[in-house]
Amino acid sequence: MEFIKNPAEQTTALTDLLLAAVALGGIFFLHLGRTGYNDYFRLAVWSAAMGAIGLAAFLGAAAHGLVLAPARHQRIWQILNLALALAGGLFVVAAVFDLWGVSASGRALGIMLPVSLGFYAATLRYPGIFFVFVVFEGLVLIFSLSAYVVLAFRGELEGAALIAAGILVSISAAAIQAKKSISLKLIWQFDHNGIYHLVQTVGLIMLLIGLRCSAPQ
């Protein structure tokens, strides 16, 4: 196993591992002190979303931090993108749960899973339209953000404002990642990907705290 020599790629891999640790640790954080019956579906959806994010970040660490054969590198990115597609769909399902309840959320799950897989499959069949997948990810985050902003203004869900803030930070992180010219040297060298991971980690922590605040006791 050979590690990448590029300093910026090294910090990108390390920040990916940090993001993975927060996402996977977040599953245990969400399970602390159990809740009412209806909340178990909500908990399962958010746990699955955190697991998908954690898997994507862990694979990202491998893709950025290790010297890999091109075919293996490509397979890692394919699995990573699949995990992100599923995470995006699960965000919508979770938001629908908090807006309209478990029945609507179950129906949303039946819709969003094939939709997520469909957008991912399209990027495999037509690699040149990957931007469509990026648009899909943006739309699911915007929908989720809008849902929790509405819930926060209505005062119907404790922690909704913090959940919305976490999603907004995540959207901002994605905007940072899109600007490839961004870099920062703070002891170590960070490129746009490394900065994205750090900002995304902050957003994920805010989201997880908001979810804990919103969980029924």
Tens-digit pLDDT profile for residues 49-67: 999 999 999 999 999 999 9
- Domain 7-214 matching CATH 1.20.1070: the answer reads yes
User: Is the pLDDT confidence value at 34 over 80?
Assistant: no
How many other CB atoms are found less than 10 A from the CB of residue 57? 26
How many other CB atoms are found less than 10 A from the CB of residue 114? 11
For the residues of 34-100, what is the DSSP string, one character each? Answer: ---TTHHHHHHHHHHHHHHHHHHHHHHHHHHHB---HHHHHHHHHHHHHHHHHHHHHHHHHHHHHHH
Give pTM, 2 decimals.
0.93
For residue 40, the one-letter residue type is Y
Residue-level pLDDT at 130: 58
Would you list the domain boundaries of the chain?
A: 7-214
DSSP secondary-structure letter at 155? Answer: T
